[in-house]
Every structure is written in C-alpha cells, then in structure tokens.
Amino acid sequence: MTGRDTIAAIATPPGVGGIGLIRVSGPASEGIARRLFRPIHLPASFLSHHLYHGEIVTPETGAILDDVLVAFMRGPRTYTGEDTFEINCHGGPLILRTVLAEVFRAGARPAERGEFTKRAFLNGRLDLSQAEAVLDLVAAKTPEGLSAAVDRLKGRLSGRIEMIRDGIIGLLAGIEAAIDFAEDDGVVDTPGADLAEIQTLIDDLRSLAATYRRGRITRDGIGVVIAGRPNVGKSSLLNRLLGEKRAIVTPTPGTTRDFIEEAITIEGIPVRLTDTAGIRLPENAIEKEGIDLVWERIATADALLVLLDGSMGLTPEDQEFLSEMQSKPMLPVINKSDLPERLDEKRLRSLLPDTTPPAVRISAKYGDGIDRLKAAIRDMVLATPAEETAGIMIADLRHKVALEKAAECLVRAREGLHEGLSPELTSLEIRGALDSLGEITGRTTPEEVLDRIFANFCVGK
C-alpha cells in the first residue's frame, strides 16, 4: 500500500538488553536511513535485505549516537509489505530513546500498538487469523500453545477456512445457476445444490468451532484451586506438582493462611495452581479472613482439586464443603494413600454429583499416583479424550462465533432448500455464511473490530 506515512517504534522490550531494535516502516524509510546512518564502509547504495555496520549520527552536527547494524528492506518482501529500515542499537533505554527521537525528527511518527502487523495485514502479507496468531506466538506459555500458534501463523487455520469457503462458493454457484436458468427458461427447477454437501460443510464448521475450548485452554491456561480441610496435604500436593518446596508443610492444621499461586504445566496445559488455607470453622479472626478469601478464590477458579485425607473418615465438615463446591468442575483427590485406608469411597461418591470424575488416590508425600492425577486433571479440564488433540485449533471467541454463525446460515439454507423455499432466499443465507467466514480471515472484518484486535498488540509489533 503506498501513500501512507512512515511509522517507527522500539521493537525490543523496555529495560537493558544486549541489543535494542528500532523498526521503521513506510515510504520514508530509505530517506531516514540515508539521513541518519553513516556506514563504516561506504556502499554505493543500500542493497535491500543486507546488513550494514556503521553509526547513527545527528545529521546537523555529525554527533555519533550509537554504533549499529542496520538493514534496509525494500517492500513488498518485508513484514509490513512496505519499505522497512531496522536499526540494531546497543540495548540501553536512553540510547534507544535518543535514536528513536532522531528517527522521528527525520520524518517518521510513533507507531501505534500493533501497527506494523496491521500494515502487514492491510498489505496482504498476513490474513487476520495469521496476524492474531502473532500475538498468540509471543504470549505462548507452553510448547503446545506455541505449536498451535505456529500452525495458525503458517496459515493452517486460514487454509482450512478457505477450503470450507471454496465449498460454500461452489454451493452458491450451483444455486445461482439454477436461479438464472429458471429466469431464462421460465421453469422453476429444484436448485442444483446437494443437501448432503451442505451438511458436510455444516459439520466441518461445527467441528472447527468445537476446538475452541481446547484451543483457548492450550493458549491461556486455567486456574486450578486446591481446596480441602486443614492438614489433608494441600500444600504437600502443591509442592509435589511444582517439584519444589514452595509452601510450608507442617503437621499442625491451619498452617497455610495466604494463597500460594504458582504457574505449572500439566500435560501441556498451562495451569495457575493455588494452594489455599484449610477450610474449617475458624478459630480466630485471622483464620476467618483467610477462609472467606478461599471461598472467593474457589468462586473464580476454572476447576477444583478437592483434597481429602484417606487415612481419616469423612467428617460432617467434609460433607458441608463438598456440597458448597458443587457448582464447579471438580476432581476428588484422596491423599495419604501410603497410610491405612479409612475413607469410605462409596459414601464419598454419594455426596458428589454424578458428573464428577472418579476420585484419584495419591500420596503427596511420597509421590504415588501423581501421574494419574495429572492425566485426570487434563481429562477434567478438556472434557474430551486426549486422542482428539491432533489438528487445527481455534483459540479466539471471535473465530468461534463466526464459525457458528456461518453454520447457522447454512442450516437455514439447507432447511430452505429442503422445504422448497425460493432459491434467492437460500442464496442470501449462503452469502451470509461467506461473510461470517470472511470475518475470520479479515475479508469482511469491520474496522472497529480490526482496531480492537490490533490494540492488544504491543507497540513495535
């Protein structure tokens, strides 16, 4: 895209680093490069996509601001699709600010959040779902989240969407041909669309939409709270899952007062795991405050590990808090499996909703059953067996909504065809489905939505 202004920003994180990168994009990039950069070995001209060693100077005085490596890259074979100038400075905040100020004086303006990627999108270097994948890539917390983001960046999601889109366009062509034929001929014929074909497209859309839950969890992770009576081994379990002694463990009930939250990865899922104070009738104001907070934390958790002490019978207190926790996905965990068993599992079952998964027996102290516990956490969280992970996953609610909307349009189209409604109406529904899909790749995404998406990026990306 030509005729735009030129933007610049520091692309590396704030603070001191080995190098700091300033990125410039737009038609004035080459002029800015020539004005500020003094090469060590004078080249005849800037060769595109080559790295040059030299100095950044204040043009009027010739004062040297930094010793740098720069690259000028001529569009459209660049990230943004525009002429781009990149300056690798030394990574000091003052150096970067000073050089950036010179870049602004030489004709660039500060880039907005995500503006480089937005230009890449507007110039057709990336489609919208790929641009969004850039964010996911940067924010990935686990190898699984990273590989899902790479898949999306490399266009696997876009490719899948395009395939479905092609199918829908084929359908539309058939129906519109039937409309034209009817007009020419005066004969109203059943449209040339195949009901089974529409159903396949609907199934494709729905199965892609159904990957949302898993995709989002893989990307964003979940909050899991360990809750239970005092002394059942909650802190021991946190330490065990974390692989280090993070929380204090003592034989005295009421040891943990404050939350202890740690980020771990369980079977590829980023988990924010919280150890809490034991729930019981509080003995004093401090404990009461702590236990009130536990209930608040339970309310915001995605899932609970309800820890019980297998070496003791179920108490009325257990019964009470089990009934209060039932609004959440929860996994009963019976600890201290190394000690003689006293807990009546049948009775426990009768206190839990039917949808609760079977209890897992562990010994937090000695590590028995921890692998089974991890697998059970994964199954509870994803609520689908692990084998289904292969394939493309969506992770944005926006994508899910658009896929579902497209599927609904096709359902109406199919019903219309089935009931012999006018092909014109059917064709409108099918066009609606195409528009919805276009919102994912950015063909038909409204400007405000674009602005909102790119506002999530950092400056310089």
Ligand X SMILES: Nc1nc2c(ncn2[C@@H]2O[C@H](COP(=O)(O)OP(=O)(O)OP(=O)(O)O)[C@@H](O)[C@H]2O)c(=O)[nH]1
- Strand pairing class (222-228; 269-275): parallel
297 binds ligand X (CB under 6 A): no
Give the residue, chosen from 80, 123, 235, 274, that forms a contact with Mg ion under the rule CB under 5 A. 235
In whole angstroms, how close is the CB of 270 to ligand X at the nearest point? 23
Q: Which two tokens stand for residue 227?
A: 């809750």
Give the residue, chosen from 13, 76, 159, 253, that forms a contact with ligand X under the rule CB under 6 A. 253
Long-range contacts of 52-56 (CB under 8 A, 24+ apart): 56/87, 56/89, 56/99, 56/102
Chosen from ligand X, Mg ion, none, partner binding at 336 (C-beta under 5 to 8 Å by type):
ligand X
Q: Which two tokens stand for residue 155?
A: 């266009």
> In sequence order, what are the residues at sequence separation of 6 or more whose Cβ sits closer than 8 angstroms to the Cβ of residue 448?
none
Give the residue, chosen from 84, 88, 142, 256, that forms a contact with Mg ion under the rule CB under 5 A. 256
Stretch that binds ligand X, among 15-23, 120-128, 232-240, 383-391 (CB under 6 A): 232-240
278 binds ligand X (CB under 6 A): yes
Residues belonging to the chain: 461
In whole angstroms, how close is the CB of 298 to ligand X at the nearest point? 14
The answer to whether 227 and 308 have CB atoms below 8 angstroms apart is no
Chosen from ligand X, Mg ion, none, partner binding at 444 (C-beta under 5 to 8 Å by type):
none
Chosen from ligand X, Mg ion, none, partner binding at 233 (C-beta under 5 to 8 Å by type):
ligand X
Stretch that binds ligand X, among 100-108, 141-149, 234-242, 287-295 (CB under 6 A): 234-242
- By C-beta, is 245 or 418 nearer to ligand X? 245
In whole angstroms, how close is the CB of 228 to Mg ion at the nearest point? 9
Give the full edge-to-edge strand order of the sheet including 37-39: 37-39, 50-57, 64-73, 84-91, 17-25, 7-10, 109-110
Strand partners of residue 304: 225, 330
HSE-CB at 455 with a 13 A cutoff on CA atoms is 6
235 binds ligand X (CB under 6 A): yes
Q: Which two tokens stand for residue 65?
A: 């601001």
- By C-beta, is 226 or 376 nearer to Mg ion? 226
In whole angstroms, how close is the CB of 275 to Mg ion at the nearest point? 6
Give the residue, chosen from 12, 58, 255, 265, that forms a contact with Mg ion under the rule CB under 5 A. 255
In whole angstroms, how close is the CB of 247 to ligand X at the nearest point? 7
In the 8-state DSSP scheme, what is residue 274? E
Q: Which two tokens stand for residue 74?
A: 């001529």
- By C-beta, is 33 or 348 nearer to ligand X? 348
In whole angstroms, how close is the CB of 256 to ligand X at the nearest point? 3
- By C-beta, is 258 or 424 nearer to Mg ion? 258
Which is nearest to 72 in space by CA: 6, 17, 128? 6
**Residue 143 neighbours by CB distance under 10 Å:** 10
The answer to whether 401 and 209 have CB atoms below 8 angstroms apart is no
What is the C-alpha separation between 340 and 439, in angstroms, rounded? Answer: 59
Chosen from Mg ion, ligand X, none, partner binding at 253 (C-beta under 5 to 8 Å by type):
ligand X
**Radius of gyration of the chain measured on its C-alpha atoms:** 30
What is the C-alpha separation between 15 and 257, in angstroms, rounded? Answer: 35
3-state SS class at 192: coil
The answer to whether 128 and 441 have CB atoms below 8 angstroms apart is yes
Q: Which residue's Cβ lies closest to ligand X?
A: 278
Q: Sign of the C-alpha dihedral, residues 212, 216, 218, 224?
A: negative
Stretch that binds Mg ion, among 1-9, 137-145, 213-221, 226-234 (CB under 5 A): 226-234
What is the C-alpha separation between 374 and 276, in angstroms, rounded? Answer: 19
**Residue 163 neighbours by CB distance under 10 Å:** 12
- By C-beta, is 254 or 332 nearer to ligand X? 254
416 binds ligand X (CB under 6 A): no
Stretch that binds ligand X, among 42-50, 194-202, 233-241, 406-414 (CB under 6 A): 233-241
Give the residue, chosen from 29, 117, 236, 445, that forms a contact with ligand X under the rule CB under 6 A. 236
Stretch that binds Mg ion, among 71-79, 157-165, 250-258, 339-347 (CB under 5 A): 250-258
Binding mask 344-383 for ligand X (x = CB under 6 A): -------------------xxx------------------
**Interface residue list for Mg ion (CB under 5 A):** 234-235, 255-256
Binding site for ligand X (CB under 6 A): 230-236, 249-251, 253-256, 277-278, 335-336, 338-339, 363-365
